[in-house]
Amino acid sequence: MSRKYFGTDGIRGEVGESPITPDFAMHLGYAAGKVTARDGHGMVLIGKDTRISGYMFESALEAGFSAAGMDVGLLGPMPTPAVAYLTRTLHAAAGVVISASHNPFYDNGFKFFSAEGKKFSDQWEHEVEQLLEDPIESVESSRLGKARRVDDAPGRYIEFCKSSVPMGFSLRGIKLVVDCANGAAYATAPLVFSELGAEVMTVGNQPDGLNINRQTGSTHPEVLAGMVAHYEADLGIALDGDGDRCIMVDSEGNVVDGDLLLYIIARSRQQQEELIGPIVGTLMTNLGLEHAFSEMEIPFMRSAVGDRYVMEMLQANGGMIGGESSGHILCLDRATTGDGVVSALQVLFEIVESGKTMAQLTSEVTLYPQKMVNVPLRQRGVNNSDEIQRALRAAEEKLGERGRILLRPSGTEPLVRVMVEGQNEEEVFTMAEELAHVVRQQVGS
């Protein structure tokens, strides 16, 4: 089912460029409201991250939903997983997050959640897109939706995060550095860890509308590594702009990506005899992780890149745990969507429970050297030119069974991602740069 606006993670783009405009946002709110409110009046929750454009789009969405006859609960800055959780527990008909996740401030977008706190189906998105072509026809005045602020939203979400670990679990004696990426989790994430007893130093918690993800957060873990050393902390936790991703840093300053975090959580579930179904990674998941799961006799499957596809494969195969190298981890036995804070807590639980360090917990995993080069595109998609295909075949033949190559367009940005993985680091890095050079010549901006 082809979609014009919705991608793998909602709708996203540069502010001011179609479709990320106030007019579109109002039409989007109206169309989503009409599709969602067919069985009654209903309420929708609107959350946002800290981008300056969030004010503008919040008002536009509110107007569209009201015109469709839906009440609106305004959450203010709130992590994406918090909106999913609150949509479910406040019995709203839908939730929407105004965010472009890990992208820079000049991008923005819209993510929707159903009443169950899960992403809507392709069919729902298709119906919304069809209504986007129609003019707004407001319901009669007596049926217009009302709007209110949900003042206790942060506290509700903090308690939910703490409930993802057993009662009595304590982080007392552990010093953490928490990097909130100047994003949506800046006010809630530090409180979760401190209320569980940790000594918390917070960075990336001074959002100004423009500095979200700027040299901070999960896309820049080297900053966190420096802060962990500076504060002589035990661990560091880096979130992204909307709080659904997590990357960690150990006491030695080593970055622990989503693959290793996924391993620790899966190992913990297995030892607690709580592991259900296969673990699901993606095409980007390191081959070394797959081998580690094989040694542990844990079934492992790969989906297409994107948490949407990880979720679909987990649900189709009865799994609970999955994720991506980027730190987007799904613990469906704890939450309905990816949650950076909840993921970090699952890792911290295993560290405390086992009495082992992060390095000790991951010592049985040998990750293959992996190099990814992002090539900006003149336009979205990959032009499979003969030159690109020849270069790809030549690289694959040279690498043979010693590794693998992935060439794919990003689902959220105008980029082609060139990934090479293999046993020899020098060969991997050289091959990635050579292939990226060919792609850049053919389709690069």
Residues 148-179 pLDDT 10s: 999 999 999 999 999 999 999 999 999 999 99
With residues binned 3-state (H G I as helix, E B as strand, rest as coil), the percentages for the chain, rounded to 5, are: 40, 20, 40
Q: How far is CA 175 from CA 171, 228, 381, in A?
A: 9, 9, 44
Say which residue the tokens 């407001």 belong to.
138
Q: How far is CA 406 from CA 286, 332, 336, 442, in A?
A: 12, 28, 29, 17
Greater pLDDT, 307 or 55: 55
pLDDT on residue 410:
78
Quickly count: other Cβ atoms within 10 Å of residue 370's Cβ.
24
275: tokens are 């592991």
351: tokens are 């560290």
Instruction: Point out the least confidently predicted range of 76-85, 143-152, 402-411.
Output: 402-411
**Single-letter residue type at 373:** V
CA distance linking residue 260 with residue 358, whole number of Å: 10
Q: pLDDT by residue (tens digit) across 45-66?
A: 999 999 999 999 999 999 999 9
pLDDT on residue 380:
54
Across residues 238-267, what is the average pLDDT?
97
pLDDT on residue 108:
98
- Confirm if 61 and 28 have CB atoms less than 8 A apart: yes
Q: In what side-by-side order are the strands of the sheet with 43-48?
A: 11-14, 107-114, 94-98, 43-48, 71-77, 147-149
Q: How far is CA 180 from CA 28, 88, 203, 335, in A?
A: 29, 25, 6, 20
Which percentage of the chain shows pLDDT scores above 90?
A: 84
Across residues 174-198, what is the average pLDDT?
98
Greater pLDDT, 413 or 119: 119
CA angle 280, 284, 289 (to 5 degrees): 60
User: Where are the alpha helices (H) located in 355-385, listed in sequence order?
Assistant: 358-361
**Predicted TM-score of the model (pTM):** 0.91
Angle between helices 22-36 and 122-131 (to 10 degrees): 120
Which percentage of the chain shows pLDDT scores above 70?
A: 97
pLDDT on residue 384:
65
CA distance linking residue 246 with residue 341, whole number of Å: 7
Q: Which residues have a catalytic role annotated?
A: 101
Greater pLDDT, 379 or 239: 239
pLDDT on residue 381:
52
* Closest listed residue to residue 304, CA positions, set 280, 287, 320, 326: 280
pLDDT on residue 444:
76
Structural domains of the chain, ranges and CATH numbers in brackets: 11-152 (3.40.120.10), 173-255 (3.40.120.10), 257-361 (3.40.120.10), 370-443 (3.30.310.50)
Quickly count: other Cβ atoms within 10 Å of residue 378's Cβ.
11
Across residues 79-89, what is the average pLDDT?
98
Say which residue the tokens 């990357």 belong to.
247
pLDDT on residue 37:
83
CA distance linking residue 257 with residue 222, whole number of Å: 12
- Confirm if 112 and 106 have CB atoms less than 8 A apart: no
Across residues 135-156, what is the average pLDDT?
96
pLDDT on residue 442:
85
Quickly count: other Cβ atoms within 10 Å of residue 134's Cβ.
11
Angle between helices 287-295 and 258-271 (to 10 degrees): 10
The mean pLDDT value of the chain amounts to 94
pLDDT on residue 280:
98
Quickly count: other Cβ atoms within 10 Å of residue 250's Cβ.
22
